[in-house]
A and B are shown apart, each in its own frame.
Chain A
Amino acid sequence: MPNEFAVEMKGIAKRFPGIVANDDIHLQVRKGEIHALLGENGAGKTTLMNILFGLYQPDEGEIRIHGQTVKITDPKKAIDLGIGMIHQHFMLVEPYTVLQNIILGAEPRRGVMISYKKALARIGELSDKYGLHVDPHRTIREISVGMQQRVEILKTLYRGADILIFDEPTAVLTPQEIQELMAIMRKLADEGKTIILITHKLKEIMAIADRVTIIRRGRVVDSLPVRDTTAEELAAKMVGRNVSFVIEKKEAQPGETILEIDNLTAFDDRGCQALRGLSLEVRSGEILGIAGVEGNGQRELIEVLTGLRKASSGEIRLRGRAVQNESPRRIAEAKVGYIPEDRQKRGLVLDFCVGENLVLKNYYAPPFCKRGLLRYDEIFGHAAGLIGEYDIRTPDEKTPARALSGGNQQKVIVAREVACEPDLLIATQPTRGLDVGAIEFIHRKLIEQRDKGKAVLLYSLELDEILNLSDRIAVMYEGRIVGILDPRKTNEQEIGLLMSGGHKGEREETA
């Protein structure tokens, strides 16, 4: 059968200044299968898919779609060929409605007018068929990240895509949303759509993919059916060594209280009360994990703690000194480090080079700045050290952060915040978008901080991460802490129950 493969990429090579992103890559994706792409941060997955979607031109190689050799000169061509891509960073027009976003550039017309009716009917059809329910009249700003992703999927389907590329779709989703997305992907595949899925989460590959191709440093290492392999084997193939999934750590040695939060209240962007009298303590030498269903005030709590949002009442003390409503700079100077959730919005200035980004928090202090003048030799020296230590894959420290792969951007942030040696490290989704090897490394770094007697406040949507790393778990519900749990004595069920507001009241104090 000549048409067995929906996508064939042969001998694809792509070079960027100072780096070979793709080096003779072969990829074959069967029609109707879910094909996972696995590889370390910077291995070249996104680049390969950008080539398939016409965003980059390969330096060498050939692409066949349904057996036909094609030249994909731009995304428009890709769309014409039935290829759709759901990018990791969404490309939606925020003030526009869902409907307007879906039809943007492909508006059905009646004369010069846009026929919204026709569009609505078509979108309704697609939503029903694949279980992609969205309210077409809400604006993008008003809907959750999970919903925005559905809009992206609908956008591609609306343009008639039958090959869908997902670039780390689950990195930004809550566990609930991930479940829903998996169901949608399964449905799409069952309806004959071909899916290429980039993800770092081996669990997801094992659960949903039919085949997996592993890429390391721009080359294909292996391509095999998922049923013939295990998560451990995949991890080993991908990083070239055995990866430990269990986190080894000593007993915590909690010391003095570093952070005290007392009866804190704050409002969210829409003016609703997000924190309703929250109290919490974090001690030195412990990792305190915050668990909670997204939207229960976690984001607001962290923004208030870091000075990015005003508290309406209550007190925050760092080593006994009240710091609520101080500026982000003052709080950072009180030795608080912060790994933000949204790396491209908050964490990095993408147009700054890696070196400049690595001093984003302390560019103004010696040795990086003296008498108002920046000392770039110091800045770049500092950067070179961290690039080595954190294995940040970049041609050099003068490369703009924008040119780094998603995972390597994340490493820049983690390196910067940990390198400041803060007394309190607030880590929100610190391993988002990282490969298993890098995750292991970052986890070790967090534990190392703890063992040095620092306090770590961890917030992650991944319950596994919270359970494995934390010494105590604080469960958040509707703007309050509803329970403090000992991770050794609890399980996902109990946490899940508390997170959904289940049984309140009974609080367990840890020693």
Chain B
Amino acid sequence: MTGFVKRLFSESTLIPVVSILIGLILGAVIMLAGHYNPFLAYGSLFAKAFGDMYNFGETIRQITPYIFTGLAVAFAFRTGLFNIGAEGQFIMGAVAAACVGVLLDAPWFLHVPLALAASALAGGLWGSIVGYLKAARGVHEVITTIMLNWIALHAANYIVRTALLEKGMARSKYIQESAWLSSPGLSELFDHARIHYGVLIALALSVLFYYVLWKTRQGYELRAVGFNPDASEYAGINVKSTFVKTMFISGLFAGVGGACEVMGVFHYQTINAAFPGYGLMGIAVALIGRNTAVGVVLGAVLIGVLTYGASGMKFGAGVPEELIHVVIALVIFFVAAGGMVELLIRRFRKKNGTVH
């Protein structure tokens, strides 16, 4: 119990929390400067996000993909890789699920797992290209992931257009109902919100994330490589294949996330003109969550609530939705600049004479 309390006040938990608070306060200052009422604004944000069952369900729907992409980014981070490509892996997963969902006829107990497996494979392979290029050619992952994001975007559009297109629409045909992750019961409970079983998959994968990282041989290896590749090489760990494996698992997380959007929310895949943005937001989620499983889930909740509640702010307090993005950006900024916040906390503690 005291251990838990200590943990609660340890720097690694305090820093993100304080950063978030600073972000929100600065956001309030900006609102004040724009002659908006920050209390009303934040109030209506939370009212929107949690006010009724429907919106609560929709908030959870919003949070779900962030968990997936957050896990993807955090996992790669643990091996010292900066995966900006969750976006592309997410898209590849989505289109794979769309293909299986549209083109295949199967009973649900086969169809759903098959679609999920296809998306995991697609996302994973898309990620391992990055790992492979890094291992074999030494190309930096930031460059390859960014390029692969674009390739994924256009490749997915091409696939939808040529193989899955609904005539006259900028999207694919509907996937078979047997491949749906939506549940009428669950939806009913939340007043017809588009909440779906994907959130359970996301939570399950968070547990898997923790388990793989801390309990398995693979996790030991990838953490070792992330901390010190030279010592890992000395220890006999195959650093290069660790890159590939890590990126496969990382991409898998994002890919399944993409599938859940298709199978749970839309039931089709649109032709995207721009990135849906879940992958990039995953970087923020991982940062806020400090690359831990629990942290990622909490980070996803935060970002999900803020983005979904933004429209509430607009209606409730007349604050432009853009401003909420500024607030999110501020939060991310302060989390990323953790060193700064750390200093602040230390100062504060010293003044109060607390010994750590």
Say if the beta carbon of B167 comes within 8 Å of chain A: no
Contact yes or no, A327 B236, CB < 8 A: yes
Q: How far is the CB of B74 from chain A (nearest CB, A)?
A: 16
Q: How many angstroms from the CA of A471 to the CA of B236 in the assembled complex?
A: 30
Chain B interface helix/strand/loop/mixed = helix
Q: How many angstroms from the CA of A452 to the CA of B235 in the assembled complex?
A: 25
Contact yes or no, B217 A348, CB < 8 A: no
Contact yes or no, B232 A59, CB < 8 A: no
Contact yes or no, B217 A363, CB < 8 A: yes
B215-261 interface (Cβ within 8 A of A) = 215-220, 223-224, 227-228, 230-238
Contact yes or no, A345 B231, CB < 8 A: yes
Contacts of A61 in B (CB 8 A): none
Say if the beta carbon of A435 comes within 8 Å of chain B: no
Interface size on B (CB < 8 Å)?
A: 20
Q: How far is the CB of A375 from chain B (nearest CB, A)?
A: 9
Q: How many angstroms from the CA of A327 to the CA of B220 in the assembled complex?
A: 19
Contacts of A333 in B (CB 8 A): 236
Contacts of A131 in B (CB 8 A): none
Contacts of B218 in A (CB 8 A): 372
Q: How many angstroms from the CA of A350 to the CA of B216 in the assembled complex?
A: 20
Q: How many angstroms from the CA of A332 to the CA of B232 in the assembled complex?
A: 13
Q: How far is the CB of A159 from chain B (nearest CB, A)?
A: 22
Contact yes or no, A329 B228, CB < 8 A: no
Say if the beta carbon of B273 comes within 8 Å of chain A: no
Contact yes or no, B233 A308, CB < 8 A: yes
Tell me the nearest residue of chain A to B350, going by C-beta: A57
Say if the beta carbon of B355 comes within 8 Å of chain A: yes
Contacts of B215 in A (CB 8 A): 373-374
Q: Interface readout for A240-276 with B: 1 if CB under 8 Å, 0 if not?
A: 0000000000000000000000000000000000000
Q: How far is the CB of B231 from chain A (nearest CB, A)?
A: 5
Q: How far is the CB of A365 from chain B (nearest CB, A)?
A: 10
Contact yes or no, B230 A346, CB < 8 A: yes
Q: How far is the CB of A363 from chain B (nearest CB, A)?
A: 6
Say if the beta carbon of A75 comes within 8 Å of chain B: no
Contacts of A306 in B (CB 8 A): 234
Given contacts A363-B217, A363-B220, A373-B215, contact A350 B227 (CB under 8 A): yes
Q: How many angstroms from the CA of A345 to the CA of B228 in the assembled complex?
A: 7
Say if the beta carbon of A81 comes within 8 Å of chain B: no
Say if the beta carbon of A361 comes within 8 Å of chain B: yes
Contacts of B224 in A (CB 8 A): 349, 352, 360
A339-355 interface (Cβ within 8 A of B) = 340, 345-352
Q: How many angstroms from the CA of A345 to the CA of B233 in the assembled complex?
A: 11
Q: How far is the CB of B248 from chain A (nearest CB, A)?
A: 16
Say if the beta carbon of A206 comes within 8 Å of chain B: no
Q: How many angstroms from the CA of A345 to the CA of B231 in the assembled complex?
A: 6
Contact yes or no, A347 B216, CB < 8 A: no
Q: How many angstroms from the CA of A350 to the CA of B215 in the assembled complex?
A: 19
Q: How far is the CB of B290 from chain A (nearest CB, A)?
A: 14
Contacts of B238 in A (CB 8 A): 327, 329
A93-141 interface (Cβ within 8 A of B) = none
Residue in A308, A332, A372 whose beta carbon sits within 8 Å of that of B216 in the complex: A372
Contact yes or no, A338 B236, CB < 8 A: no
Say if the beta carbon of A369 comes within 8 Å of chain B: yes
Contact yes or no, A340 B355, CB < 8 A: no
Q: How far is the CB of A307 from chain B (nearest CB, A)?
A: 8
Q: How far is the CB of A412 from chain B (nearest CB, A)?
A: 12
Q: How many angstroms from the CA of A369 to the CA of B228 in the assembled complex?
A: 21
User: Which of B230, B231, B234: most chain A Cβ within 10 A?
Assistant: B234
User: Which of B217, B233, B237: most chain A Cβ within 10 A?
Assistant: B217
Tell me the nearest residue of chain B to A360, going by C-beta: B235
Contact yes or no, A332 B236, CB < 8 A: yes
Q: How many angstroms from the CA of A338 to the CA of B231 in the assembled complex?
A: 12
Contact yes or no, A340 B234, CB < 8 A: yes
Say if the beta carbon of A315 comes within 8 Å of chain B: no
Residue in B217, B223, B234 whose beta carbon sits within 8 Å of that of A347 in the complex: B234
Q: How many angstroms from the CA of A283 to the CA of B80 in the assembled complex?
A: 42
Contact yes or no, B216 A361, CB < 8 A: no
Contact yes or no, B216 A328, CB < 8 A: no
Contact yes or no, A349 B228, CB < 8 A: yes
Say if the beta carbon of A356 comes within 8 Å of chain B: yes
Contact yes or no, A361 B236, CB < 8 A: yes
Contacts of B235 in A (CB 8 A): 328, 360-361, 363
Contact yes or no, B217 A374, CB < 8 A: yes
Contact yes or no, A328 B236, CB < 8 A: yes
Q: How far is the CB of B184 from chain A (nearest CB, A)?
A: 39
Contacts of A329 in B (CB 8 A): 236-238
Q: How many angstroms from the CA of A486 to the CA of B231 in the assembled complex?
A: 35
Q: How many angstroms from the CA of A333 to the CA of B230 in the assembled complex?
A: 19
Q: How far is the CB of B223 from chain A (nearest CB, A)?
A: 8
Contacts of A90 in B (CB 8 A): none
Contact yes or no, B217 A328, CB < 8 A: no
Q: How many angstroms from the CA of A373 to the CA of B220 in the assembled complex?
A: 10
Residue in A346, A349, A373 whose beta carbon sits within 8 Å of that of B217 in the complex: A373
Contacts of A373 in B (CB 8 A): 215-217
Contacts of A347 in B (CB 8 A): 231, 234
Q: How far is the CB of B7 from chain A (nearest CB, A)?
A: 14
Contact yes or no, A349 B232, CB < 8 A: yes
Q: How far is the CB of A190 from chain B (nearest CB, A)?
A: 41
User: Which of B227, B231, B232: most chain A Cβ within 10 A?
Assistant: B231
| 19 more A-B residue pairs beyond the given contacts A59-B355, A340-B234, A352-B224, with a C-beta to C-beta distance below 8 A | A327-B236, A327-B238, A328-B233, A329-B236, A333-B236, A346-B231, A348-B228, A349-B227, A350-B227, A351-B228, A360-B231, A360-B235, A363-B235, A364-B217, A369-B217, A372-B217, A373-B216, A374-B217, A374-B220
- Pull 6 A–B residue pairs with CB atoms less than 8 Å apart, ordered by A: A308-B234, A328-B234, A352-B223, A356-B220, A360-B235, A372-B218
